[in-house]
Structure formats: C-alpha cells, structure tokens
Structure 1
Amino acid sequence: MAVVLKGKDGPIYPNDKLRNFCLVAVIGARERCLRDDFKPLQLQNPWKKGCLYVRQKHDVLAALEQSARHTAYI
C-alpha cells in the first residue's frame, strides 16, 4: 500500500499474498522471524540491539544478507 500511495516503483502484492511475509529481527549474525502478534512499537526506546526487516517467509536469509550489506556501507 505504501508503494502505491507514494507513487514508487516496486513490487505490489495482493492482500492474499501478505501472509507470506514476516517481520524479522537481525541481531549480529542471527536472524529471527517474529511472531505475527509481535508489537514493534512496544520496544523500549532506544532499541539498539539490531535491525528490523520485512521479508518473505520462504526467503530464509534475506534479512541477514540485507543487514550485512547495510553494515558494509556504514
């Protein structure tokens, strides 16, 4: 929905495909898929232990690879 509202190019997924995604926490070299009922807005501020990413559930190491690329640019 954000892609459409902001007029950006990118993949657009129908609502029935959204269940194929999960929120992932990457802390160091570990990636953990969070439960569907996880509430990221309840994390204590500042939360500096890792990064949160959204990835497709079947793409097991996508967030970890993204984190490694992000760390390389810092």
Structure 2
Amino acid sequence: MGRKCQLTGKSVMSGNHVSHANNKTRRTFSANIHERRFWVASENRWVKLKISANALRTIDKNGIDAVLAELRASGVKV
C-alpha cells in the first residue's frame, strides 16, 4: 500500500523547492502517516491501521467502531 492513509486516502504529493533566486526543483511532500493499533472492544481484538494524523482525529471524534464500519462498507478488508 505504501505511504497512503487507509481512511482518508492522503498520500505523497509533488511540488517545487523554490530558492531565494526563484530556482525551482521538484520535491515530494509526504503525508503524516503512522501505523497505529486500535483496540476494538466489540470484536475483542487489536486492529492495525496505517492512517494520517488527520484520520486519527476523525477516529477520536467518531469512534473506532464507526470508522471501521465505514471502511468495511467501502470494501477495505480490516
């Protein structure tokens, strides 16, 4: 899967380094991706997800059960 968020789909973007003299060279912007384990009490097991920091806030807000239900509905095997 590489460096892509399983929840939001955020991944690497490309852009330019711009120097003081306005010289431009290509570079990549990496998404803030972390591999995290979540305890799912309803299934009595750990679930490992590769998610962005933004997705971690979404999980804090909505709960892991709601997020997993949404992921499974979209066809992701978790």
TM bin, normalised by shorter chain, reads 0.3 to 0.5
- TM normalised by structure 2 equals 0.36
- TM normalised by structure 1 equals 0.37
Larger strand fraction of residues = 2
Of structures 1 and 2, the one scoring higher in RCO (CA 8 A, sep 6+) is 1
Larger Rg: 2
Larger helix fraction of residues = 1
